[in-house]
Amino acid sequence: MTGKKYVYLFVDGKAEGEGSWKELLGGKGAGLAEMTNLGIPVPPGFTISTEACVEFFRQGEQFPPGLWEQVLEALHRVEQAMGSRFGDADNPLLFSVRSGARVSMPGMMNTVLNIGLNDQTVEGLSRKSQNPRFAYDSYRRFIDMFGDVVLEVPHQKFEELLEKAKQRKGVTQDTELDAEDLQALVREYKALVERETGKSFPDDPFQQLRMSIEAVFRSWNVPRAVTYRRIHHLPDDWGTAANVQSMVYGNMGNNSATGVAFTRNPATGEKHLYGEYLLNAQGEDVVAGIRTPEPLDKLKEVMPRVYEELVEYANRLEQHYRDMLDLEFTIQEGKLYMLQTRVGKRTAVAALRMAVEMVEEGLIDEKTAVSRVEPEQIDQLLHPMVDPAGKYTVLAKGLPASPGAAVGKVVFSAEKAVELGGKGEKVILVRPETSPDDVGGMHAAQGVLTARGGMTSHAAVVARGMGKCCIVGCKELYVDEAAGEFRVGTTRVKEGDLITLNGNTGEVILGEARLITAELSGNFGKLMEWADRYRTLGVRANADTPEDAMMARRFGAEGIGLCRTEHMFFGEKRIDAVREMILASSKEEREKALAKLLPMQRADFVEIFRIMDGLPVTIRLLDPPLHEFLPRLDSEIEELAQTMGISKEQVRAKTESLREFNPMLGHRGCRLGITFPEIYNMQVRAIFEAACQVTKEGKRVIPEVMIPLVGTLEELQITKRNAQEVARQVMDEQGVQVEYLLGTMIELPRACLVAGQIAQEAEFFSFGTNDLTQTIFGLSRDDAGSFLPFYIEQGILRYDPFIVLDQEGVGEMVKIGVQRGRATRPDLKVGICGEHGGEPNSVAFCHHVGLDYVSCSPYRVPVARLAATQAALGKGRDATI
């Protein structure tokens, strides 16, 4: 052997590698090695490492020095074990070459079977199998596959020749061709290859093998594989291993078969060997779907001994891997061979059940169990789902902005949604995009569908907050409100027509699809209880209403991390007072309008404080620009003008004067609190009047008053001083002491940069990573739809930064903010609120960067809890753009 070791044998019950060597041997190779070591029958062979592949590309698609020699040496060992020889005309050994990357990329890369066949060895195979038809069929398949994969002669051209052969003979099934027909076909196939490539088909088995290995390596970089890696955020520099394995056949008669098995039911999690098989078939027949496979239970009847053996291997493997496995096997003339083992994919329901049951069986411990369920899967468990087994027509596809599923009648306005929703009808609100005006309608609807906007557009954020199914950015949709319909191509969907939204996939479905509700069995509670034992990061919820607060507690939130007071402003009666306040032409008028709002805000806070008894509630003072609250529709403007006794023109003029070019960067947050201190004063008064009242009721109230959009120390000083004064006043009036914190939302880059100063005044920081993402990237989440999807498609960004926190940019800024803030105030309480708080990668980041808590939508709280646990257990995933 010369140079680096690239080739790892598995032969004679002993492998040079083992199951944990996935990086080196790929998933398949590691599985084969492990099974071999466990004494499970695996056709002997060897794995060429991923390092060889990486080196292959580094050297301009050349085998690295020594590799071929190592292959030949290993091949010789396999020959010895098999008692046959590669290329031997009498007793030929045949090989398969299969790709196998570190993680499974199903169907993306290439495989070549039956390597070693030529005009001589095919005769040997024929004699040995006493089955000439089988031998020639294998030979024909080999030329087709090798031609397609290695020589780039399109498979379709082989198919055409096959078709002609059947026509000539007047038959329809491949199986109706006999050995002679196939032999003739082999000649035609070889002639085809020669025509297409200008060279004769390689007869030398060693040349075949070498070319197959190279082709498998090259398939790492075929477009579909590259695209797959992009979609799944896998790096391009891993490379694939190549597994060279002696062939076994499931198509040598009715005592042969091929199949797949799961050690437990991957859909339900039930502990029972689950799978299917085909008698007298090869793997590709299963894939082709020409014959329908039988359930594994049937195999028990047909080949009881083999079945027992399979169950025994399955159990042994599950015990060994301590996880549910996905197995591939072949039975050649009554002998069982295992061809693959890997951890099986599973549904959310199954993942949960298996994790819990395996703990109960003593197979795994709690820490392992809580790492077994993907946090994202938890979200699905909390929502109804479109039955994947159902049949339905997908009309269009948008971005799956909020999970779950919803069926309802199409409506095009929030008013209509409220009207029909009030009558108990199920409606889907369809809008070009939503605005704060639509919040009531969204609430009344089962689901929301918009033509515009990204994953963090208004509709998306609000819907997720409500735990309501939502699809946004459905570009094919043209919403024609005037005509009372929306169109997708030539399909028109009228108001009142039924549609279904699949919020897990983004599919818009015509008509009513069947929905299933995943039951929240006791397993969910158990798993979450275990999760909380190993978690150090706090999890709070964003909750603006008493309903939200209740949901938050139900899902295990340890407080409210963000209560947006302005969301309380949109109630029917309130919005009028809010608008009066905004349109006020003097401080006195404004205070009059604010006085109307005070009891309403107080009442909300009273309820929320009661519900959150004993847990902290972070209340953010008014944040959005005032124009967001003003009416847009002509009828509304007229109504408001009448109510206020001013002219429509005055309302319009004021609205116009408040209009902003870039509202995101405008007159909002503490800038409002500073220019109109009476607004914040009213809100602080409402908070403390409520806090005093609920304290008197004997409950424990822990308010945390949060000033938004602070960029300078002075802004916080001014607003803090005012708030403290009002708080003091109210507590004096009420004769009650309420402990509270006063802090700020860190949502501007400048706030991170001067965090050391800001921490002089702030008792806590809550990073608003939505706005930070917008300002750090210079990216409006409402406008990103025109290029962000393209960026992700092209791999310019690995993730949508509004969904997964951008650790290099936004995360770096958060780190700077935390460091500088804690340098001034070591006990500074630091959290994040906003969308990222419920996204597992981002939660892991928050854990590692030392935050005290994350806060997210109530529905995402279990996701965040589980993600925080996994991060604490070291399973936190990295995510960089």
Is residue 502 within 8 Å of residue 513, measured between CB atoms? yes
According to the binding rule CB under 8 A, does residue 666 interact with a copy of itself? Answer: yes
Binding range to a copy of itself, per CB under 8 A, among 129-137, 261-269, 408-416, 808-816: 808-816
Q: Which is nearer to a copy of itself, 523 or 757 (CB)?
A: 757
- Per-residue b/e over 163-200, b at no fewer than 16 CB within 10 Å? eebbeeeeeeeeeebeeebbbbbbebbbebbeeeeeee
Q: Which is nearer to a copy of itself, 600 or 816 (CB)?
A: 816
Which residues in the 303-332 window bind a copy of itself by CB under 8 A?
none
Three-state SS for 412-452 is CCHHHHHHHHHCCCCEEEEECCCCHHHHHHHHHCCEEEECC
Q: Which is nearer to a copy of itself, 807 or 869 (CB)?
A: 807
Among 749, 821, 831, 862, binds a copy of itself (CB under 8 A): 749
Least distance CB 821 / a copy of itself (angstroms): 15
Binding range to a copy of itself, per CB under 8 A, among 79-87, 146-154, 315-323, 787-795: 787-795
According to the binding rule CB under 8 A, does residue 488 interact with a copy of itself? Answer: no
Least distance CB 778 / a copy of itself (angstroms): 4
Among 75, 582, 748, 844, binds a copy of itself (CB under 8 A): 748
Which residues in the 707-726 window bind a copy of itself by CB under 8 A?
709, 711-712, 714-715, 718
Q: Is residue 383 annotated as part of the catalytic site, yes or no?
A: no
Among 49, 84, 245, 774, binds a copy of itself (CB under 8 A): 774
According to the binding rule CB under 8 A, does residue 94 interact with a copy of itself? Answer: no
Least distance CB 780 / a copy of itself (angstroms): 4
Cα separation, 252 vs 282, in Å, equals 9
Three-state SS for 782-813 is CCHHHCHHHHHHCCCCCCCCCCCCCHHHHHHH
Among 323, 806, 835, 839, binds a copy of itself (CB under 8 A): 806
The tokens 């399979």 sit on which residue? Answer: 310
According to the binding rule CB under 8 A, does residue 436 interact with a copy of itself? Answer: no
According to the binding rule CB under 8 A, does residue 753 interact with a copy of itself? Answer: yes
According to the binding rule CB under 8 A, does residue 706 interact with a copy of itself? Answer: no
Backbone dihedral angles phi then psi of residue 100, each to the nearest 5 degrees:
-175, 100
Least distance CB 675 / a copy of itself (angstroms): 5
According to the binding rule CB under 8 A, does residue 795 interact with a copy of itself? Answer: yes
Among 515, 665, 736, 741, binds a copy of itself (CB under 8 A): 665
- Sorted by sequence, the CB contacts under 8 Å of residue 478 that are 6+ apart come out as 451, 486, 487, 488
Among 229, 464, 671, 836, binds a copy of itself (CB under 8 A): 671
According to the binding rule CB under 8 A, does residue 881 interact with a copy of itself? Answer: yes
According to the binding rule CB under 8 A, does residue 649 interact with a copy of itself? Answer: no
Least distance CB 797 / a copy of itself (angstroms): 7
The tokens 């609000």 sit on which residue? Answer: 462
Among 765, 777, 853, 859, binds a copy of itself (CB under 8 A): 777
According to the binding rule CB under 8 A, does residue 66 interact with a copy of itself? Answer: no
The tokens 């393209």 sit on which residue? Answer: 790
DSSP three-state, residue 115: strand
Three-state SS for 541-555 is EECCCHHHHHHHHHC
Least distance CB 462 / a copy of itself (angstroms): 15
Amino acid at residue number 57: F
Least distance CB 313 / a copy of itself (angstroms): 47
Q: How many CB atoms lie within 10 A of CB 570?
A: 18
Cα separation, 749 vs 739, in Å, equals 30
Per-residue DSSP letter, 64: P
Q: Is residue 836 annotated as part of the catalytic site, yes or no?
A: no
According to the binding rule CB under 8 A, does residue 484 interact with a copy of itself? Answer: no
Cα separation, 38 vs 342, in Å, equals 14
According to the binding rule CB under 8 A, does residue 586 interact with a copy of itself? Answer: no
Catalytic: which of 383, 443, 458, 567? 458
According to the binding rule CB under 8 A, does residue 776 interact with a copy of itself? Answer: yes
Is residue 465 within 8 Å of residue 563, measured between CB atoms? no
According to the binding rule CB under 8 A, does residue 783 interact with a copy of itself? Answer: yes
According to the binding rule CB under 8 A, does residue 805 interact with a copy of itself? Answer: no
Binding range to a copy of itself, per CB under 8 A, among 42-50, 565-573, 605-613, 654-662: 654-662
Cα separation, 841 vs 374, in Å, equals 11
Residue closest to 506 by CA, chosen among 647, 630, 405: 405
DSSP three-state, residue 245: strand
Q: Annotate each residue in 603-642 with x if it binds a copy of itself (CB under 8 A) or - if it does not, as one string.
A: ----------------------------------------
Catalytic: which of 474, 563, 752, 833? 833
Least distance CB 657 / a copy of itself (angstroms): 9
According to the binding rule CB under 8 A, does residue 47 interact with a copy of itself? Answer: no
* Beta strands 447-450 and 491-494, pairing class: unpaired
Per-residue DSSP letter, 695: H
According to the binding rule CB under 8 A, does residue 808 interact with a copy of itself? Answer: yes
Both structure tokens of 393: 């027509």
From residue 798, alpha-carbon distances to 77, 102, 235, 374, 503 in Å are 44, 19, 10, 20, 22
Least distance CB 606 / a copy of itself (angstroms): 32
Binding range to a copy of itself, per CB under 8 A, among 197-205, 314-322, 698-706, 782-790: 782-790
Q: Please spell the DSSP secondary structure of 313-374, one letter per residue.
A: HHHHHHHHHTS-EEEEEEEETTEEEEEEEEEPP--HHHHHHHHHHHHHTTSS-HHHHHHHS-
Among 76, 187, 554, 750, binds a copy of itself (CB under 8 A): 750
Among 42, 606, 745, 754, binds a copy of itself (CB under 8 A): 754
According to the binding rule CB under 8 A, does residue 660 interact with a copy of itself? Answer: yes
According to the binding rule CB under 8 A, does residue 835 interact with a copy of itself? Answer: no
According to the binding rule CB under 8 A, does residue 108 interact with a copy of itself? Answer: no
Cα end-to-end span (Å), the chain: 42
Residue closest to 328 by CA, chosen among 233, 259, 402, 237: 259
Q: Please spell the DSSP secondary structure of 120-155, one letter per residue.
A: THHHHHHHHHT-HHHHHHHHHHHHHHHHHHTT---H
According to the binding rule CB under 8 A, does residue 778 interact with a copy of itself? Answer: yes
Q: Which is nearer to a copy of itself, 281 or 626 (CB)?
A: 626
Binding range to a copy of itself, per CB under 8 A, among 119-127, 147-155, 670-678, 870-878: 670-678
Among 4, 550, 791, 848, binds a copy of itself (CB under 8 A): 791
According to the binding rule CB under 8 A, does residue 532 interact with a copy of itself? Answer: no
Which residues in the 673-702 window bind a copy of itself by CB under 8 A?
674-675
Both structure tokens of 846: 């928050």
Query: How many residues can be counted in the chain?
Result: 881
Q: Which is nearer to a copy of itself, 394 or 664 (CB)?
A: 664
* Beta strands 294-295 and 274-279, pairing class: antiparallel
**Taking the CA of residue 113 as centre, how many other CA atoms within 13 Å lie in the half-sphere pointing to its CB?**
13
Least distance CB 750 / a copy of itself (angstroms): 4
Cα separation, 370 vs 873, in Å, equals 9
The binding site for a copy of itself (CB under 8 A) comprises 660-667, 671, 674-675, 709, 711-712, 714-715, 718, 747-750, 753-754, 757, 771, 774-780, 782-784, 786-787, 790-791, 794-797, 806, 808-810, 812-813, 881
Supply the residues annotated as catalytic: 458, 833
